[in-house]
Structure 1
């Protein structure tokens, strides 16, 4: 009889053994986040204080992802290299990141590259489109016309940061708005060998 219980548990699961939720292919990376950053909701929500990279780089020519500002505070979204300092906020002060900040400025290498024509509010969705040359931002599906040069690096990753009570939810698929023509979700590079 005991053997039947083992077989049953193998095929349909044992209620006493915890079931694990599989993380989506692209999500915020708990291995590359600031010391006081907190990632919840299956790797999609960032709160606390610090930054987090996505777990996969942007490998294809035209990639798109979104973030929703769940709660205001200090925040930023953009792209960065793997060696960015995830605890040094705000980002954009060196050559390792280019971000749109909560003050409406697109900043990279310590230089303000653009200012948004309007303020981002709680509940707004920011789209980020990157083609290895230009970094473009969208507010609730509308192109903000603030293209900025990206980072000269072999690999770049989506990055978000929060502080001061801000909460951001990242979406790497199942978007709120249609990506711009030719852009798609971040694809995971796979070896054919």
Structure 2
């Protein structure tokens, strides 16, 4: 009987049946990437909130055919959201001033390469959720779940979701557990390993 308790105690203390600890691998999640952000950007809430001044890219590119992500405008100011390559200057605000970013700005204007390419019919306000879909042909926008008929086209290369803030703007990004159901055929961005 004493031997049985000794075995139980060794197992309980971690010195019994298994001599080594097997760590569980954490499933990678898409979030804002602290290594791909501007010098004056602050990322909090486990990579889900951006504030300060500058831009940040996600830690994963959009590799699948149809992807969806969202941003909630927590506090107004100067902000933008869209797609960019890793060559995008994350310290340059506003984005859309070069060939490496395609963004919609706080006034609804859509910019790429210093040119306004369109304008959303409704301007996002504080508390609104802006959804974005990308299928490697078009970047489409949704305001509080409602489609806005003003697509962005002409994006090229390996692209990442990008977000920028200035003048007190605060945005919360959602790469999963969305506020609104993604449009049919679209889903959250997958880390490339999970595509294999």
Cα 1:42/1:191, change in 2 over 3 Å: closer
Matched ranges for 1:24-35 at <5 A: 25-35=29-39
The equivalent of 1:129 in structure 2 is 133
The equivalent of 2:81 in structure 1 is 77
Is the partner of 1:25 in helix, strand or coil?
A: coil
| Structure 2 length-normalised TM | 0.85
Q: Quick check: 1:113 aligned with 2:120?
A: no
Whether the 8 Å CA contact 2:28–2:191 is kept in 1: the answer is no
Superposed structure 1 runs of 4+ greater than 2 Å apart: 7-11
Cα 1:86/1:93, change in 2 over 3 Å: same
Is the partner of 1:175 in helix, strand or coil?
A: coil
Could you tell me how far 1:118 is from its partner in structure 2?
2.0
The equivalent of 1:90 in structure 2 is 94
Alignment size in residue pairs:
179
CA deviations 1:23-58 (Å, max 9, x no partner) are 960000001000000000000000000100000000
RMSD after superposition: 2.4
Cα 1:182/1:86, change in 2 over 3 Å: same
Is the partner of 1:147 in helix, strand or coil?
A: strand
Structure 2 gaps, min length 5: 1-10, 16-25
Please give the alpha-carbon distance, in whole angstroms, between the structure 1 residues aligned to 2:120 and 2:129: 14
Which of these two proteins has the greater Rg computed from alpha carbons? Answer: 2
Could you tell me how far 1:151 is from its partner in structure 2?
1.9
Q: Quick check: 1:39 aligned with 2:4?
A: no
